[in-house]
Structure 1
Amino acid sequence: MALTSKTLLCILMAGTLVVSVLILWLWPRAARPGPAGWAARLGMLAVAQLCLLSVLLVAANRSFGFYSSWDELLGRSSTVQALEAAPAGGKLPPALTVKGPRSIGLKGPRQVAGQVEEVAIRGRLTGLSMTGFVYLPPQYFQAGYRTETFPVVVAITGQPGISKNLITQLKVPQAVSEAVMDKTIRPTIYVLVRPSVVPGRDTNCTDVPGGPQALTFFNQDLPAAVSEHYRTTDTPGSWGAVGNSTGGYCALKLPMTNPARYGAGAGLSADYFARKDRDTGDLYDGSKKLQNENDLTWRLKHRPAPPVSLLVSSSKQGEPNYRPTLEFAAAAKAPTRVAKLIREEGGHNFQTWREEYPEVIRWLDAQLRDRTAPTPAP
């Protein structure tokens, strides 16, 4: 039974209810003097607390996506990697596999509201892989657009987190679908993923010396896989990126390190450097040079400015990254452009980001609009 499944939560809730009824029934029998009575009552209280705590923890994990599987919770690798020989003729296995469409409550059939597909992405350069989702706009399925290509935005959730949070908590494809239907943005493909490419490790979209090449995966493998399967526009700078928290750091880092692919990036409550903690390990092999290269504010100050558009968001109250956000924006120089989305109040949470996403989606559309846009076939 999956750690994030609704079935598990329902079973735990039902079990807690049954245990509570049993305790109420047994309590008078245990209310006798002496050590045995005390031990019985303490044991019943402990069982009740354990049941209630399990419900709260599983519910919180479902809401915030701290762990996506039992293996990840227990610190075990949840993926199996195996080298596969190429079939006869040298044809490579597909870099992207569609597992099937996912119903998320869009307001109409796919020709009207678009469609979300669950996908598995295999990195040919890095050997890394992950699962995620792809939102395809309604025009992708319309006969008038059958030969057209579409710009792409990569949406990245925070760490720890699961890609499904972008659907269930942040409502990203729902917001994109409504904006496309309202014609406030142009039809765009959204790729929904998590920032971690290694189970149990926060790689911060960083190429780790002698370790996982996470930045290469997002800069090279993911775009190649998506473009191989879908009708994407691949002119310079025609892709965008957006994310929250650690995902926001990644979304800013991609255009700053690969402007030929990503022309715009938006970081919501983003970090501006890769933190070092027990979940990240040493990302730089002790190299101060590599650490500086992955510090986004340092890059703005000391590296040639890439021709990209960036957006950063924060709140004057409730956000620890408010001053770093102002410092980052102040460090930008042409041709890099940095827009700020500053709230009076807010927090580092799904509600704040969910409210920001519709405006950020429109901003990304405006930045990518001049680079390319699909038009109906005659």
Structure 2
Amino acid sequence: MSPTGWPMMLTAIFLAVAGPVGTYLLWNRVRGPRPVRALSRLSMIGVSQVLAILLFGVLVNNYYGLYASWDDLLGDTGSPGVIIHDNKVVADGVPTPGLDVTPGPGGDAQGGRGTVVPVVPRDRPAGPDQRFDKYGDDALVTSFTGPKSGLGGQNDVMVWLPPQYSDPAYAKTNFPVVMLFPGYPGSPQTWFGNMAGQKELARLVQQKASTPFVLAAVNISPIKGVNTDCTDIPNGPQVATYIADDVRTMLERTFRVTTDRSGWGMMGYSEGGLCAGKLLVQYPQDFSAAVQMSGDVRPGGYVGKYGPDFANRNSTLWVLRNHKPNPPVALLAAASAEDASGSVLTDALSLQQAAPDVVDVLRKEHGSHNTEVWKQWLPQAYGWLSEHLDPVKPQS
């Protein structure tokens, strides 16, 4: 019996009801000295409470699809999976970037964002540095309000700097950046807490298995209780502008990072995965690679309120089918066959079918929709991003 499904649900309901009923029936039948009777009754109450908590856990797991199997619950999700490039498994796990950038039928190559313009080098923004405070042992945090979007809030942006950033040999080096997006509801702190994204990158850098990226975790829902799927809503919150323009410009102004699109990438899990893929195909002039972990390929109900055309322009799958991004981008769609949504792997393969020169798929057979699965993907994700973003070299 798996931890999801009706058999487990009915068992949990039966036990949750049986606990209090059994306690009631046995309450006056307990024999022995007073301390023994008291301990026995307390034990019955405790068992009833544990069974009620079990039912609550089963309900939550069924609703969110957190754990698909007992191994998944115990943290054993098997192999992290293999990367499939152009419908072929890559033996060494490192795909070759696609080079075909021909726009698809239907117009521009930016998903309805207007006429394609040549990419020109970005100048480093002028203005004062944003103040960051220390967060934990190795991260920085700030409360930032975007000047264009007007969005932002307390501790909405967190940054981790690799050891090379303070190394004198790299004093003149501009570092590539990976923006990190949490799920919804969620917070950027998860990336440097439960996900431990910075610790895994530090380990890989030490092993020379990854580029020493600057990591920037960003809140994708700056308006509490409103999930825009990282979209600029007409006459509403401009979340895409907040992330891709306001936050990026602030980071370029404050830290020694590259301003070239070839050094900017994104990675997110769950709702943050949708954001990473969507913003990549909508802003190819600003970002060149992204990793989408267990992310949807179409926006949700809030965006759908503004009509099918608007929803399409904010759908990663629709954009790849109708407006191939130009300049070229690369997307890694990571998905598990046991993801509770039932469509994440199918959607990832649909992305690859729509644009095999753009999309690689990291396919995993076991594990549901939880941080243990996403953490297991981090080594391959960082390695893949290292192949698609600018390297870091000491500058004399």
- TM-score over 0.5 for the alignment? yes
Q: 1:328 aligns with which of 345, 351, 359?
A: 351
Residue 279 of structure 2 corresponds to 254
Deviations 1:46-68 (A, max 9, x none): 9x969x86xx99xx9xxx9xxxx
Q: 2:247 aligns with which of 222, 231, 234?
A: 222
Residue 116 of structure 2 corresponds to none
Q: 2:329 aligns with which of 308, 314, 318?
A: 308
Residue type of the alignment partner of 2:284: P
Q: Residue 374 in 1 paired to residue 395 in 2?
A: no
Aligned length: 291
In the alignment, the residues of structure 2 paired with residue 97 and residue 122 of structure 1 have an alpha-carbon distance, to the nearest angstrom, of 12
Residue type of the alignment partner of 1:347: S
Deviations 1:283-315 (A, max 9, x none): 355332111101111111111333000000112
SS state of the match for residue 265, structure 2? strand
1:276-287 correspondence runs (5 A): 276=301, 282-283=302-303, 285-287=305-307
Residue 213 of structure 1 corresponds to 238
Which of structures 1 and 2 has the larger relative contact order (alpha carbons within 8 angstroms, sep 6+)?
Answer: 2
Conservation of the 8 A alpha-carbon contact between 2:293 and 2:374: yes
SS state of the match for residue 262, structure 1? coil
* Superposed displacement of residue 333, structure 1: 5.8
Residue 313 of structure 2 corresponds to 293
Q: Call closer, same or farther: CA 1:94–1:102 in 2, change over 3 Å.
A: farther
Q: Residue 342 in 1 paired to residue 363 in 2?
A: yes
Residue 67 of structure 2 corresponds to none
SS state of the match for residue 249, structure 1? helix
Residue type of the alignment partner of 1:257: Q
Residue type of the alignment partner of 1:343: K
Residue type of the alignment partner of 1:199: K
Conservation of the 8 A alpha-carbon contact between 1:240 and 1:364: yes
* Superposed displacement of residue 193, structure 1: 2.2
Residue 140 of structure 2 corresponds to 117
Residue 134 of structure 2 corresponds to 100
Q: Residue 161 in 1 paired to residue 181 in 2?
A: no
Q: 1:363 aligns with which of 371, 380, 384?
A: 384
Deviations 1:262-287 (A, max 9, x none): 100110111011111xxxxx335533
Identical-pair percentage? 28
Residue type of the alignment partner of 1:268: M
Residue 14 of structure 1 corresponds to none
In the alignment, the residues of structure 1 paired with residue 269 and residue 312 of structure 2 have an alpha-carbon distance, to the nearest angstrom, of 22
TM-score with structure 1 length normalisation? 0.69
Residue 292 of structure 2 corresponds to 267
Residue type of the alignment partner of 1:154: M
* Superposed displacement of residue 254, structure 1: 1.8
In the alignment, the residues of structure 2 paired with residue 340 and residue 170 of structure 1 have an alpha-carbon distance, to the nearest angstrom, of 21
* Superposed displacement of residue 344, structure 1: 1.6
| Runs of 4+ with deviation above 6 angstroms | none
Q: 2:196 aligns with which of 147, 171, 189?
A: 171
In the alignment, the residues of structure 2 paired with residue 136 and residue 265 of structure 1 have an alpha-carbon distance, to the nearest angstrom, of 19
Residue type of the alignment partner of 2:352: A
Q: 1:149 aligns with which of 167, 170, 174?
A: 174
In the alignment, the residues of structure 2 paired with residue 94 and residue 180 of structure 1 have an alpha-carbon distance, to the nearest angstrom, of 31
> Unpaired segments of 5 or more residues in structure 1?
1-26, 29-40, 65-91, 104-114, 277-281
Q: Call closer, same or farther: CA 1:176–1:347 in 2, change over 3 Å.
A: same
* Superposed displacement of residue 94, structure 1: 5.3
In the alignment, the residues of structure 1 paired with residue 207 and residue 356 of structure 2 have an alpha-carbon distance, to the nearest angstrom, of 35
SS state of the match for residue 126, structure 1? coil
In the alignment, the residues of structure 2 paired with residue 357 and residue 195 of structure 1 have an alpha-carbon distance, to the nearest angstrom, of 20
Deviations 1:165-202 (A, max 9, x none): 11222110111111122221122100012321211111
SS state of the match for residue 191, structure 1? strand
In the alignment, the residues of structure 2 paired with residue 97 and residue 199 of structure 1 have an alpha-carbon distance, to the nearest angstrom, of 23
